[in-house]
Structure 1
Amino acid sequence: MRKVVREELAALTNGDLLTIAEAAALIRGGERTIQEWFRSGHLKRMKHGRKVLVSRTELMEVLKQEPAALSETELEARANQLLGRAG
């Protein structure tokens, strides 16, 4: 239990969390895909107030397992673009 809390706190402080809309944009898919991944257990749903959030790191891991996934470089570039980061 403590490990899970530590991971969630680390995600909050590292800016690792995305909204469902941001996650869907990152994968170039729909919000339904993200919801399905929650239901199937591929992704863990986190709540911050009323917002449902997903770990960017976890999302990247799921994408690596998908057959039509983007390359690691493309994923990083897309994530940085969505999060407004340079690089």
Structure 2
Amino acid sequence: MTAHRQLVREYRDAWIHFRTHKTPGKAMKEKIEEAEDALDVFNLDIARQRAEVEIDRRHDLARVEHQQQSGWVGWVKNWWYGGSP
């Protein structure tokens, strides 16, 4: 039971890292895949929901899709769509 809860916590932390960093790293991807193999869909869904709430709650974290793009692609996207919402 304790090992299961620890695995869910590790998966939640890894999912937060995965959603907030552009390059999560090989070790982080392996940890996510390991937990996805060991946990059932219900626990994965709960852990992901808790991770998303944690990202929303903490102001120092931003999802990859909400992070500012650099270079000319980011400039064109901001110009075309009128900046970030």
TM-score when scaled to structure 1? 0.27
Q: By percentage of residues, which structure has more helix?
A: 2
Name which one, 1 or 2, has greater alpha-carbon Rg: 2
TM-score by length of 2: 0.28
